[in-house]
Amino acid sequence: MTDSKYFTTTKKGEIFELKAELNSDKKEKKKEAVKKVIASMTVGKDVSALFPDVVNCMQTDNLELKKLVYLYLMNYAKSQPDMAIMAVNTFVKDCEDLNPLIRALAVRTMGCIRVDKITEYLCEPLRKCLKDEDPYVRKTAAVCVAKLHDINAQLVEDQGFLDTLKDLISDSNPMVVANAVAALSEIAESHPNSNLLDLNPQTINKLLTALNECTEWGQIFILDCLASYLPRDDRESQSICERVTPRLSHANSAVVLSAVKVLMKFMEMLPKDLDYYGTLLKKLAPPLVTLLSAEPELQYVALRNINLIVQKRPEILKHEMKVFFVKYNDPIYVKLEKLDIMIRLASQANIAQVLAELKEYATEVDVDFVRKAVRAIGRCAIKVEQSAERCVSTLLDLIQTKVNYVVQEAIVVIKDIFRKYPNKYESVIATLCENLDSLDEPEARAAMIWIVGEYAERIDNADELLESFLEGFHDESTQVQLQLLTAIVKLFLKKPTETQELVQQVLSLATQDSDNPDLRDRGYIYWRLLSTDPVAAKEVVLAEKPLISEETDLIEPTLLEELICHIGTLASVYHKPPSAFVEGSRGVQHKRLPPRAGSGESTESPDVGQSGPSEAPPAVIPSQGDLLGDLLNLDLAPPTATVPSVQPSMQMGAMDLLGGGLDSLMGDESDTVIKLSERGTAMPASLGGAPAVGGGLGDLFDLGGGVGMPTGSYVAPKTVWLLAMKAKGLEISGTFARRGGIIQMDLSLTNKAMSVMTDFAIQFNRNSFGLAPAGPLQVLTPLSPNQTIDVSLPLSTSGPVMKMEPLNNLQVAVKNNIDVFYFSCQYPLSLLFVEDGKMDRQVFLATWKDIPNDNEAQFQIKDIHLNSDVASNKLQGSNIFTIAKRTVEGQDMLYQSVKLTNGIWVLAEMRIQTGNPNYTVNGNKET
Amino acid sequence: MIGGLFIYNHKGEVLISRVYRDDIGRNAVDAFRVNVIHARQQVRSPVTNIARTSFFHVKRSNIWLAAVTKQNVNAAMVFEFLYKMCDVMTAYFGKISEENIKNNFVLIYELLDEILDFGYPQNSETGALKTFITQQGIKGQHQTKEEQSQITSQVTGQIGWRREGIKYRRNELFLDVLESVNLLMSPQGQVLSAHVSGRVVMKSYLSGMPECKFGMNDKIVIDKQGKGGTTDEPGKSGKQSIAIDDCTFHQCVRLSKFDSERSISFIPPDGEYELMRYRTTKDIILPFRVIPLVREVGRTKLEVKVVIKSNFKPSLLAQKIEVRIPTPLNTSGVQVICMKGKAKYKASENAIVWKIKRMAGMKESQISAEIELLPTNDKKKWARPPISMNFEVPFAPSGLKVRYLKVFESKLNYSDHDVIKWVRYIGRSGIYETRC
């Protein structure tokens, strides 16, 4: 019999033919046809049209045919609920069949048909089957209750099936018990507080008895259920552990892991001075090691779990280092996990072996693995002080191989070693510097720059090295830029005489030519520090750094506890709580380890007690990536928030700074010429000359100096609008932004008073463009003292209009539980530039001519180091669209259009002379 | 629990798709194909999370088996189940191949319906399944009531792995102690890690419901007996016994009894099955020692000399010996001289393969090779994979000895003496590597 032929019929009119065959009188032909239908179903063809014909084949004594029809029903019943009712009678009849296999088949299938109407009919047969004389039927019915609960939970409760299910825990047949436990556990998961499982010493005893007798799968269900029980005292805990330990010798790895879970959890309750506690610890190691001779997929699951166990109880596997040595033919996912555990187990006793292995791995083929091995060597150095010297020399050997990624990885870890053991291994810096040119990864470049900056006084040509990085400053990634900035400032503070030019260069690159706010901020902070008080700068920038901690990559203790409760499951594989990857109510419950045994502390036996991390959780350093981030930022001791409010014109601020000791950094500056003579026709005459327009445009160009995202509109930094002393402790700072066509007011509310603030509300006075809040102020939580909340308030332009002086002035009232406060602020005009402000070329030409000269204004914007294309792009980000561009006598002429929310068009001609940082703008306005 | 199970061919076409839970849609089938089977990169994990759906997969030849779930399932159980599924399929129709799966798809659906209910694994012992799921589907209709209830009690019962009423004219059993010895040795001959993973495989052809008891030279048992005051010299028995690091048993073995008394008692399944697995790390007899010598002569030549020494009784013969000496990727030619057996350079495998049919204990043999290399400007050094070895020896490298296997069947009239018993020991190489 070759059933494969069913997969190959793909001709047209197939459904029609099948229909005929299904209705054939010949049994054989019918069966063939059903097989074809199932084959089509498997490959994803829609054969639901055959529903009535297939269901007609259901009434048969041929068990094979019946099963096929059932399979079809389970797939399509949902799409044809009315037709599915046709099948009910057969099901009900089958549930009464003499053959227990058929009774079970019927109840099993019925539960899989997710049609409301059918479930009603299911109740009676299910009730009977739950009390069937045959255990095979009962165990099937037990699972069916879970199925029904998934479809209609209320029905299951109303019909009292939950109680029947609970009764099945006392069934004489172990498999019935196991399935009942599985079903109850699943139902209980969706009712976290129902106490459905109601585990007590009697039921636990029943479960433990069934544990010895049921199938391997049943043992897993029971063990997983046991793990959620909380024993009353240490004695009960011990007696359960004693009855669970034999499972550690089961051939099924899942049984072993679930048993480990129960033991790890209940062990928490045992006093550490108990002999049994030590015995138990010893019993856990061998089965865990045995898991490593399973198939690779299971090894992977086991290793992910061992990783958790080693963090929770390092003493269990501390002598088993060798079994985690990587084999040449291990799949990569096993190799990487083994490596992780090797580092966790590394100690003074075994470090020599571990290092020899790691060095071996560093010559392998898989890039990820090699990188991780190199990184591991560094971690060993940090973890085991005695080995640091050997680790460093091993790393140097690896650098000599000149394999690009090995060198880079080595440099990254050597930087960490310097952080741990300052002033010890600096002799290797020369070797590192030789490899400067081969570094192409940001992390490695950043690490190298950090090293050069940190030890600038010992590197003769530190300035040359750093200068070489500076050439391509804009192509570097942010972390390299930040690091370079810090390193050069360090260098300057150490060797101020020779490096003044360099530091000016980097500060101007960071503050003026960068789009990255972090970089800009850091640049300004250094700038101010250096210009106001170089001594303070030295204290801050060259401050002593705290040593980094020994253990890295540890899982945060509360998460670790939760994951220990999930040993063996997906959560322990992902190292994430179930709520992170399970939808809905299931698994949201956070499991916790039982409280530690009471008097343990004082009576601890010294040999097992000291290494338990539960008593003294080590400071956790989140992950490698974050760690590095911290390291790099560490130089910058004062956080940005403590810097006084940023002034509106950053460039002006920067120039002020220059006066304080450093030479003029901006170079030759031309005169500032802003001629502005504008007159509106639609808007009253006073609009002309209003600072709003000039200021707005100036701000827009300020983004040429580095703020804002390249494609987004310009957002000014937040300024303080309402001082705390004027508003009973409430300080408000804010700015405006246009994001995706929506105007937003970004506010930071800070409570500087002693009492909690609540009930925030906001209102605007009438204003020139009808700005009004589009929704209430969303401050959901009370604002406690010294807390700051950031809110974004969407604005609309449909509010009442009244001309303000200046035009862009906005008067705001903010209310809270204490009082009402008023302040006024000014919004940039660019806030009102709409996205569809691109005028058609022809229309532009015509309009340009038609606008009377009176409506024209001219002014200059100075000191913009951008060419016309970049400028045009930046402006487009703020909805100023370039309609045309022409080049006349070395001057670029850009023609631009802007549309305001109230329908006013502004046309502009911008003249840009190459090499001249000043732009000339001719503005035209039209309604 | 498991939400669905899919089987794909190497192209990613679905051969079998069975969905158990409502939260798994048809698109899950495609998600796995696109993200795993058709992925450009090599698979980096056997568990994949795609859009909050987790996929567990195993591969058998070029067939992919994938279990799907959206819940926090017991991951170890899912993999154990997938292996079991493979075992069951193999027991029914032989090798797992696209052709066999297509030919038996109705049977597979029937099996999937039986062994996985709402995603919960049920009894998956082939012995039990074969009593009521058959390829022809004929059984079921003509069974008597007794037969039916016998089936159900077996499937759900305490002894789900054996049916009652088995009769043999000749009661016979075969015990195979199969060990694989694993070694990782440094070039200087230092043992970096070594362990034996062993299996005791039993073929039983016994009537009725026989109660069996298995005994071996387990150090703990023997020491205990020694203390009990038997006449054995303690020193002597200590030598003969072995320390077992850990062992696991077939589900027929009463684990609680093993835990308390360390005795292995059970009612065996009928036919062939694996009674136990064990692991030892102490006092392992390493049947062969490999001594490598690699010398780089300039940039374009390597000289390799490898000596193997057999380390067991001269009266015993090792078989199927194969030494695999890796060669660099830029090898242009190889000249080999060996004293014994045949050696060949296999360019496609980047290795010199040296085969010896038989070799007695306490002997030594040697191979030397000259490897010509193409000059390359590749900066990266050759990784020098370890030299690996395969062999088979007629003893257990762990030193394990079967002391007895007693059979009791009280209801039928045969005694332990009437059972014909065969024991054999085979030691094979697992991963037996020497770094060079």
Among B15, B44, B156, beta carbon nearest to A175: B156
What per-residue confidence (pLDDT) applies to A704?
A: 37
CA A640 to chain centre: 24
- Residue A370 confidence class, pLDDT cut points 50, 70, 90: very high
Chain-chain contact of A221 with B151 (C-beta, under 8 angstroms) = no
Q: Say if residue B203's pLDDT is above 90.
A: yes
- Residue B361 confidence class, pLDDT cut points 50, 70, 90: very high
Chain-chain contact of B141 with A63 (C-beta, under 8 angstroms) = yes
Contact B395, B402 (CB under 8 A): no
> Mean pLDDT of all residues in chain A?
80
Q: Say if residue A918's pLDDT is above 70.
A: no
Least confident of A319-333, A396-410, A679-693: A679-693
- Token pair in block for residue A857: 């204004």
B102 known member of a binding site: no
What is the distance in angstroms between the Cα of A597 and the nearest Cα belonging to chain B?
26
Chain-chain contact of B22 with A568 (C-beta, under 8 angstroms) = no
B17 at A interface, C-beta within 8 A: yes
Interface with A, mutate which of B57, B103, B120 (most A CBs under 10 A): B120
What is the distance in angstroms between the Cα of A473 and the nearest Cα belonging to chain B?
29
What per-residue confidence (pLDDT) applies to B308?
A: 94
Q: How many CA atoms lie within 13 A of A373 on its CB side?
A: 26
B139 known member of a binding site: no
Q: Please give the sequence-ordered ranges of beta strands (E in DSSP) within B125-270, or none if there are none.
A: 172-185, 191-205, 211-216, 246-249, 264-266
* ipTM of model over 0.90: no
**Which residues are within 8 A (CB) of A10 and not within 5 positions of it... i.e. 6 or more apart?**
none
Q: Which residue of A has its CA nearest to B21?
A: A112
Question: Residue A551 burial by CB count (10 A; 0-12/13-18/19+): exposed, middle or buried?
Answer: middle
Q: What is the CA angle A70-A71-A74, rounded to 5? A: 85
Q: Say if residue A639's pLDDT is above 50.
A: no
Cα radius of gyration (chain B): 26
User: For residues A242 and A623, which has the higher predicted lDDT (pLDDT)?
Assistant: A242
- Residue A91 confidence class, pLDDT cut points 50, 70, 90: confident
What per-residue confidence (pLDDT) applies to A923?
A: 66
Q: Say if residue B140's pLDDT is above 60.
A: no
- Residue A8 confidence class, pLDDT cut points 50, 70, 90: low
Interface with A, mutate which of B1, B57, B59, B80 (most A CBs under 10 A): B80
- Residue A669 confidence class, pLDDT cut points 50, 70, 90: very low
CB atoms within 10 A of CB A871: 23
Least confident of A10-19, A216-225, A641-650, B104-113: A641-650
Residues of B in contact with A435 (CB under 8 A): none
- Residue A634 confidence class, pLDDT cut points 50, 70, 90: very low
Chain-chain contact of A179 with B120 (C-beta, under 8 angstroms) = yes
Which residue is listed with tokens 């609009």?
A687
Q: Which residue of A has its CA nearest to B262?
A: A246
Chain-chain contact of B80 with A587 (C-beta, under 8 angstroms) = no
User: For residues A120 and B311, which has the higher predicted lDDT (pLDDT)?
Assistant: B311
Q: Which B residues, 380 through 419, put their C-beta within 8 Å of a C-beta on chain A?
A: 380-381, 383-386, 388
Instruction: Taking residues A545-567, report their average pLDDT.
Output: 85
Residues of B in contact with A39 (CB under 8 A): 105
Q: Say if residue A459's pLDDT is above 50.
A: yes
Chain-chain contact of B148 with A99 (C-beta, under 8 angstroms) = yes
Q: Say if residue A638's pLDDT is above 60.
A: no
Residues of A in contact with B88 (CB under 8 A): none
Instruction: Taking residues B317-344, report their average pLDDT.
Output: 92
CB atoms within 10 A of CB A841: 12
Amino acid, single-letter form, for residue A862:
K
Interface with B, mutate which of A276, A402, A570, A583 (most B CBs under 10 A): A570
User: For residues A927 and B7, which has the higher predicted lDDT (pLDDT)?
Assistant: B7
Chain-chain contact of B246 with A290 (C-beta, under 8 angstroms) = yes
Using CA atoms, how far residue B357 sits from A779, B178, B287, B318, B319, in Å, is: 83, 20, 15, 8, 6
- Residue A613 confidence class, pLDDT cut points 50, 70, 90: very low
Using CA atoms, how far residue B401 sits from A688, A892, B179, B420, in Å, is: 105, 95, 12, 18
Contact B131, B154 (CB under 8 A): yes
Among A1, A98, A175, beta carbon nearest to B145: A98
Amino acid, single-letter form, for residue A4:
S
B381 known member of a binding site: no
- Residue A919 confidence class, pLDDT cut points 50, 70, 90: low
Instruction: Taking residues A794-822, report their average pLDDT.
Output: 84
Residues of A in contact with B184 (CB under 8 A): 325, 327
Contact A111, A133 (CB under 8 A): no
Q: Which residue of B has its CA nearest to A297?
A: B46
Question: Residue A914 burial by CB count (10 A; 0-12/13-18/19+): exposed, middle or buried?
Answer: exposed
Chain-chain contact of B76 with A581 (C-beta, under 8 angstroms) = no
**Which residues are within 8 A (CB) of B7 and not within 5 positions of it... i.e. 6 or more apart?**
B14, B15, B16, B17, B63, B64, B65, B66, B101, B108
What per-residue confidence (pLDDT) applies to A551?
A: 67
Among A98, A249, A365, beta carbon nearest to B248: A249
Among A136, A245, A365, beta carbon nearest to B383: A365
B192 at A interface, C-beta within 8 A: yes
What is the distance in angstroms between the Cα of B314 and the nearest Cα belonging to chain A?
32
**Which residues are within 8 A (CB) of A221 and not within 5 positions of it... i.e. 6 or more apart?**
A178, A179, A181, A182, A185, B120
- Collapsing DSSP to helix, strand or coil, B162 comes out as coil
Question: How many interface pairs between A and B have CB atoms less than 8 angstroms apart?
Answer: 288
B342 known member of a binding site: yes
Instruction: Taking residues A459-478, report their average pLDDT.
Output: 86
The contacts found for B382-386 with CB under 8 angstroms, 24 or more apart, are B382/B328, B382/B329, B383/A363, B383/A364, B383/A365, B384/A363, B384/B294, B384/B326, B384/B435, B384/B436, B385/A328, B385/B326, B386/A328, B386/B184, B386/B326, B386/B433, B386/B434, B386/B435, B386/B436
Least confident of A193-197, A651-655, B424-428, B429-433: A651-655
- Collapsing DSSP to helix, strand or coil, A382 comes out as helix
Contact B351, B403 (CB under 8 A): no
Give the Cα separation of A215 and B156 in Å (integer).
8
What per-residue confidence (pLDDT) applies to A713?
A: 65
Residues of A in contact with B52 (CB under 8 A): 581-583
Chain-chain contact of B433 with A328 (C-beta, under 8 angstroms) = yes
B44 at A interface, C-beta within 8 A: yes
What per-residue confidence (pLDDT) applies to B14?
A: 92
Give the Cα separation of B40 and B61 in Å (integer).
19
Residues of A in contact with B258 (CB under 8 A): 246, 249
Question: Residue A365 burial by CB count (10 A; 0-12/13-18/19+): exposed, middle or buried?
Answer: exposed
What is the distance in angstroms between the Cα of B303 and the nearest Cα belonging to chain A?
21
Interface with B, mutate which of A298, A350, A585 (most B CBs under 10 A): A298
Among A100, A147, A581, beta carbon nearest to B118: A147
**Which residues are within 8 A (CB) of B205 and not within 5 positions of it... i.e. 6 or more apart?**
B168, B170, B171, B172, B173, B270, B271
Give the Cα separation of B158 and B252 in Å (integer).
9
Per-residue pLDDT tens digits for A77-88: 888 888 788 788
What is the distance in angstroms between the Cα of B170 and the nearest Cα belonging to chain A?
30
What per-residue confidence (pLDDT) applies to A677?
A: 33
CA B285 to chain centre: 21
Residues of B in contact with A134 (CB under 8 A): 149, 152
Give the Cα separation of A63 and B139 in Å (integer).
9
Provide the 8-state DSSP code for B11: T
B435 at A interface, C-beta within 8 A: yes
Interface with B, mutate which of A1, A2, A9, A64 (most B CBs under 10 A): A64
Q: Which residue of A has its CA nearest to B125?
A: A215
> What's the pTM value of the predicted model, to 2 decimals?
0.70
Q: Say if residue A545's pLDDT is above 90.
A: no
Chain-chain contact of B75 with A569 (C-beta, under 8 angstroms) = yes
B42 at A interface, C-beta within 8 A: yes
**Percentage of chain A lying above the pLDDT 70 cut:** 83
Among A101, A251, A289, beta carbon nearest to B251: A251
Residues of B in contact with A67 (CB under 8 A): 109-110, 113
Contact A560, A265 (CB under 8 A): no
Per-residue pLDDT tens digits for B248-299: 999 889 988 898 888 999 999 988 899 999 999 989 999 999 999 988 888 8
Per-residue pLDDT tens digits for B63-108: 999 999 999 999 999 999 999 999 999 999 999 999 999 989 889 9
- Collapsing DSSP to helix, strand or coil, A828 comes out as coil
Using CA atoms, how far residue A699 sits from A209, A514, A747, B100, B325, in Å, is: 78, 16, 19, 73, 71
**Which residues are within 8 A (CB) of A694 and not within 5 positions of it... i.e. 6 or more apart?**
A674, A676, A859
Per-residue pLDDT tens digits for A269-301: 899 888 999 999 999 999 999 999 899 999 999
Residues of A in contact with B109 (CB under 8 A): 38, 67-68, 71
- Residue A710 confidence class, pLDDT cut points 50, 70, 90: very low
DSSP string spanning A674-702?
-------SSS-GGGTT-HHHHHHHHHHHH
Least confident of A129-133, A703-707, A730-734: A703-707
B93 at A interface, C-beta within 8 A: no
What per-residue confidence (pLDDT) applies to A644?
A: 37
Using CA atoms, how far residue A603 sits from A113, A600, A614, B332, B411, in Å, is: 59, 6, 16, 70, 56
Instruction: Taking residues A512-520, report their average pLDDT.
Output: 87
Per-residue pLDDT tens digits for A773-783: 888 888 777 88
Chain-chain contact of B120 with A38 (C-beta, under 8 angstroms) = no
Nearest to A777 by CA among A841, A829, A821, A719: A821
Among A134, A213, A221, beta carbon nearest to B152: A134
- Collapsing DSSP to helix, strand or coil, B141 comes out as coil
Amino acid, single-letter form, for residue A287:
P
Contact A619, A547 (CB under 8 A): no
Cis peptide leading into A852, omega within 30 of 0? no
Give the Cα separation of B264 and B275 in Å (integer).
10
User: For residues A877 and B24, which has the higher predicted lDDT (pLDDT)?
Assistant: B24
Nearest to A151 by CA among A190, A124, A125, A179: A190
